[in-house]
């Protein structure tokens, strides 16, 4: 399950739900039709009071990511603000 925080100043959780379902439908339509598994397309709103800006998406993973350097492709990097990293580390304990 993937948890997504929606910036409700820019959009709504309903708009995000629709966009995610549209993307999932396009990518998984054939697999879903073959398996009859409509549950694989589910997007859920948080049931916790006060967290109506949180969306849960059923996902797959962990995925295999190739980190090795390839001559014809740029190096993969993750760039974050220092405050973000500090917040993650505070929550890691």
Domain range summary for the chain, segments of one domain joined by +: 2-91
Q: What is the pLDDT of residue 92?
A: 58
- pLDDT value of position 14: 92
CA distance 8 to 22: 20
pLDDT in tens, 34-66: 555 545 557 888 888 888 888 888 776 666 767
Of the candidates 33, 6, 32, the one whose C-alpha atom is nearest the C-alpha of residue 18 is 6
- With 60 as the cut, is the pLDDT of residue 26 above it? yes
Residue range 70-85: mean pLDDT, rounded: 76
Residue 18 parent element (H or E):
helix 13-35
**pTM given for the model:** 0.52
Q: Which of 89, 10, 3, 15 is nearest to 48 (CA)?
A: 3
């Amino acid at each position: 399950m993937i948890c997504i925080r929606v910036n409700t100043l820019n959009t709504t959780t309903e708009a995000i739900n629709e966009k995610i379902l549209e993307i999932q439908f396009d990518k998984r339509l054939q697999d879903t039709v073959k398996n009859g598994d409509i549950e694989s397309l589910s997007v859920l709103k948080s049931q916790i009071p006060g967290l109506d800006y949180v969306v849960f998406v059923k996902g797959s993973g962990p995925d295999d990511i190739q980190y090795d350097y390839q001559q014809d492709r740029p190096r993969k990097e993750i760039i974050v603000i220092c405050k973000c990293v500090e917040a993650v580390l505070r929550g890691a304990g």
